Chain A
Amino acid sequence: MTDPILESVSLSKRFGNFVAVDDVSFSVPEGSFFSILGPSGCGKTTIMRMIAGFLEPTSGDILIRGRSILDVPPNKRPVNMVFQHLALFPMMNIEGNIGYGLRRKGMEKAEIAARVGEVLERIGLPGIGKRKVDELSGGQKQRVAIARCMVMEPDVLLLDEPLGALDLKLREHMKIELKQLQSDFGTTFIYITHDQSEALVMSDQIAVMNQGRFEQIGSGRDLYYRPGTAFVAGFVGEANRWRGKVTRAQGGGLQLTTEAGLVITGADHGRGLRVGEEAEIFVRPEAIRIGHAVSDVAHFSNQMSGSVGSLLFNGAASRAMLRPAGGGDEIEVALPQSGEFSALKRGDEVHIGWEAEQANAFAYDPTAAAATAKASGTGGT
């Protein structure tokens, strides 16, 4: 791996008594797509603004290519930013917008024109230089905003939820396009979002942030399958969750008994939960197998039966909400894509089961529980 292009060392930012960013360290390898994922208000925009130079850290350091940039004013930093609402200059045409930074560098007019033409070509919008900003569609503006930064050939491009204002269809499309642009230009992207699917699709690395701290840094796969904290498990992807007391623990495997008396086996993946501790268990809907007969799920360490409470058809991602026979919250189960359960109706009796390995157990943390509840309430896009 190459040397990190950007490093954050124990970065903190306090506003009065409020700690927005609390001792955050990370490093971003050159040419990678790095996302910071977290609910709104978690401090991710504050980090971004400190890197861009609009805020000064309370303590800690930011280094680019090994050199601190804290003394460098925002207009001199080798960092550019795509703003949430793009912040294109409405008083200039597209050419003026893209050429703005080059003019500031004192580049020759002919050279600027050539560079602008080139970058417009690269973003697939040749010949729109003379148009006005408000004559472009949402997606075109998006690309222009990126092009405006890319002509500056920054070491790092910061993107502050730039897809937030787009409609769903366009957003899906732009996710792919952004990733494409990033690998075309080979520039390091730092991308901020509260939308896990944006982060998962595009990023090489994702930092999950909560209440000013980084919970976990890793690839999308790591976060999804091996969440390091209860917050990550709850925030990234969907999960059924049970809370209860650890009634047995042995070599990574454990047993949890909920208040309702339900017994679930799970794994703590080395987190060392002990008997008597309060814990939470997360199980992904797709980790749960569904069967018509008990025998279909007989080989799983966790088994349950229940009736179909409701069906959520969503093509390949269709779900069933099951009411457990023994009572308790509904369980979300992914329906296999084989079409085997396409005839499933409300009220049908089914059997489910999952491996203890797939049931991630964490020590119960009331603050994380509150934060994920809030995040899934507000940031469920």
Chain B
Amino acid sequence: MRAGAKLGFFLLFAPLVLWLGLLIVIPHIDMFLVSIRERIGVAEYQTSLANYLTFFTEPLYLVTFLRTAMMSILATALTLVIGFPVSFYIAKIAKGRLQSALFLLTLVPFYVSELVRTFGWMILLRETGLFSTLLQWLGLADQPVEMLYNDVAMMVGLVYTSMLFMVVPLITTMESLDDSVIEAGYDLGGSGFSVMREIIIPHAMPGIVSGSIIVFMLSLGNYLTPTMLGGKDSLWFTELIYSQFIVRFNWELGAAFGFMLLFLSSLIVWGTLKLTGQTLEKTMG
């Protein structure tokens, strides 16, 4: 009997273990081994930390990482600022059909691929695009306006791409807040602002934290949006990794970059959780 139960246990856990082992753990070990390899000649390698050293000694790489991280944090903050009122409206103010319809509307952009969405923005923002033409037609601009290929365009794209991942956890947590708790806040003399600050935001905190983590990680790991909308100034850290792997054939440095990205982004998330006094358990529970 005992042996049978044990076998059952192993059979149940086998898919998970295989999934984690084959698709996550083993590739990462392999990647790590690649990252501590230094090329010293044609098809000749030795173990060293030279690749990691390169990351810290070549200012370009560190600066690119910092820029990527700062932009991702900004994108996360903007997504939160825009997504919060939207989620609040959907979760607490809209009722019945309107609520489902609005929720569906936030999902609709994700029915098409990220590539198509990004192209959509390019069509809108480019010099001969819709906005530029509209501005000229309205007489607000006397020549074509280029809105593409800058950090603002990239930020618009990042926020747009991330919105759903902020809105869904926010709606879920805010829906669980009893309307009467909000009413009680007003009833006891609270203003709109203080009800928001003392009741709604603290209640939505787990949603804010999980949404922010997801959006930050997605922005940090985004490749398409920065390269396509950001244009010539938009060096993004993932782009560095991509070019090391694909264009430069320098897997060793690319792997080291990959590990630095994993490590530093985890550090940022951990630090932010500490700073805001949140824990991962609270967020998941």
A and B touch in the complex (CB under 8 A): yes
A313 to chain B, nearest CB (A): 40
> Chain A contacts of B186 at CB under 8 A?
53-54, 73-75
| A183–chain B nearest beta-carbon distance, Å | 23
Contact at B180–A85, with CB atoms within 8 Å? yes
In the complex, number of A-B residue pairs with CB atoms less than 8 Å apart? 66
The winner among A73, A84, A89, A92 for most chain B CB atoms within 10 A is A89
Contact B183–A105 (Cβ < 8 Å): no
Interface size class on chain A is: 20 to 34
**Residue interface bits A81-104, CB-to-B below 8 A is 1, else 0:** 101110111111000000011001
Say whether B78 faces chain A, with CB atoms less than 8 Å apart.
Answer: no
Contact (Cβ within 8 A) B188 A149: yes
Known: A89-B199, A100-B198, A104-B194. A75 touches B181 (CB 8 A): no
Contact with B along A40-79 (1 / 0, CB 8 A): 0000000000001110000000000000000001111001
Residue in B180, B187, B199 whose CB lies within 8 Å of A91: B199
Q: Is the CB of B188 within 8 A of A100?
A: yes
Q: Which of B171-195 contact A (CB under 8 A)?
A: 178, 180-181, 183-191, 194
Q: Is the CB of A75 within 8 A of B190?
A: yes
Q: Is B202 an interface residue (CB 8 A)?
A: yes
Interface residue count for B (Cβ, 8 Å)? 18
Contact residues in B for A149 (Cβ distance below 8 Å): 188
Per the bound structure, the CA–CA distance linking A232 and B191 in Å amounts to 41
**How many angstroms between the C-alpha atoms of A76 and B205 in the bound complex?**
28
- A87 in contact with B190 (CB, 8 Å): no
Give chain B residues whose Cβ lies under 8 Å from the Cβ of A88. 181, 184
Contacts of A152 in B (CB 8 A): 188-189
Does residue A323 face the partner (Cβ distance < 8 Å to B)?
Answer: no
Query: Closest chain A residue to B177 by CB distance?
Result: A90
Known: A100-B198, A104-B194. A87 touches B178 (CB 8 A): yes
Q: Does A80 contact B (CB under 8 A)?
A: yes
Given A89-B199, A91-B199, A91-B203, do A54 and B189 touch, yes or no (CB 8 Å)?
no
Q: Do residues A104 and B188 form an inter-chain contact, with CB atoms below 8 A?
A: yes
Which residue from A53, A76, A83, A91 sits with its C-beta under 8 Å from B184?
A: A83
Residue among A87, A89, A92, A105 with the most chain B CB within 10 A? A87
Bound-state CA distance A282–B185 (Å) is 46
Query: Is A81 a contact of B203 with CB atoms below 8 Å?
Result: no
Question: CB-CB < 8 A to B183: which residues of A?
Answer: 52, 54, 74, 81, 83, 87
Most buried by A among B181, B187, B191, B199: B187
Q: Does A148 contact B (CB under 8 A)?
A: yes
Known interface pairs A89-B199, A90-B203; A81-B190 also in contact (CB < 8 Å): no
The 5 tightest CB contacts between A and B, nearest first, are A101-B188, A104-B189, A91-B202, A87-B180, A87-B184
What are some 10 contacts across the A-B interface (CB < 8 A)?
A73-B186, A74-B183, A74-B186, A79-B187, A90-B203, A92-B198, A92-B202, A100-B198, A149-B188, A152-B188
